[in-house]
Amino acid sequence: MAQKVGRLTYTVLIDQEHVVSRLYNMVNVPTGVWIDERGRIVRPNEVAFIDDRFKNFTGLDSAPYLNALKDWVEKGDKSAYVMSQEQLEQKLAPPEPGVALASAEFGLGEQLYKAGHLSEAVPHFKEAQRLNPKSWNYKRQAYKLSSEGDYGTTFLQEVQKAGGSKVYYPPPDLPKASAGDGLEKKQ
């Protein structure tokens, strides 16, 4: 249930129908997408931690991403962290056919679930996960709507099968900052 927390001074996307996740093949959370004032994507979806609360789990330090974001806010298109058109085209390439089919399967599972047909929804959730095994969002949502027992595995077992939490959250692909700008990439 949503809680009212006061008036926000920024836009928050609440994607209950997973439309944005499907359109941009977002496979995990937290995910950040940089969109400039003209509505143009300058960095596509990537892991985006705003603090270090999960650092022990992921091994990722939030500082490089936050420093890159601040650099972009300050410098706009001149920021070294804005991707070239070629990089964007590569990152935003249409997904493989299996990914599109996984999206359709998951959507069908969601509709069946909403109509009260959980037992009929589970096979579609499973097929979506099989077709797009990189989508942690599919796993997380399917387990939430039904039960991990319906899948013969747990979320944690799936993370471990993939290689552990360091693989679960691949680091953002940030270029090395130039010396002296205060944005050196931490290893």
144-181 tens-digit pLDDT: 888 778 888 888 888 888 777 777 777 888 987 554 44
The answer as to whether 109 is a domain residue is: yes
Domain co-membership, 82 together with 28: yes
Domain membership of residue 75 as a residue range? 19-91
Q: Is 96 helix (H, G, I), strand (E, B) or coil?
A: coil
CA atoms within 13 A on the CB side of 39: 0
Write down which residue in 66, 91, 116 finishes a domain: 91
Our CA angle for 107, 111, 114, nearest 5°, is 135
Specify whether 63 is located in the same domain as 42: yes
Torsion of CA 20, 156, 118, 120, to 10 degrees: 90
Residue 187 within a domain: no
Question: What's the CATH number where 163 sits?
Answer: 1.25.40
Same domain, 162 and 105: yes
Q: Is 176 inside a domain boundary?
A: no
Domain contains 42: yes
Percent of the chain at pLDDT exceeding 70: 91
Domain boundary among 91, 119, 139: 91
For residues 150 and 124, state if they share a domain: yes
Quick check: is 80 in a domain?
yes
Q: Which residues contact 55 (CB under 8 A, 6 or more apart)?
A: 49, 61, 62
CA–CA distance, 25 with 73 (Å, rounded to integer): 25
Same domain, yes or no, for 51 and 77? yes
Total domains, the chain = 2
Residue 180, in any domain of the structure: no
% pLDDT > 90, the chain = 38
Do 51 and 71 belong to one domain?
A: yes
pTM: 0.72
Q: Are 122 and 158 members of one domain?
A: yes
Q: How many CA within 13 A on the CB side of residue 11?
A: 5
Q: Cα 130 to the chain's mean position, in Å?
A: 18
pLDDT for res 177: 58
Pair (35, 72) in one structural domain: yes
pLDDT on residue 4: 67
Distance CA 16, CA 86 (A): 31
132 and 161 in one domain?
yes
* Residue 184 in domain: no
* pLDDT of res. 3: 61
Q: Does residue 129 share a domain with residue 72?
A: no
Q: Is residue 175 domain-resident?
A: no
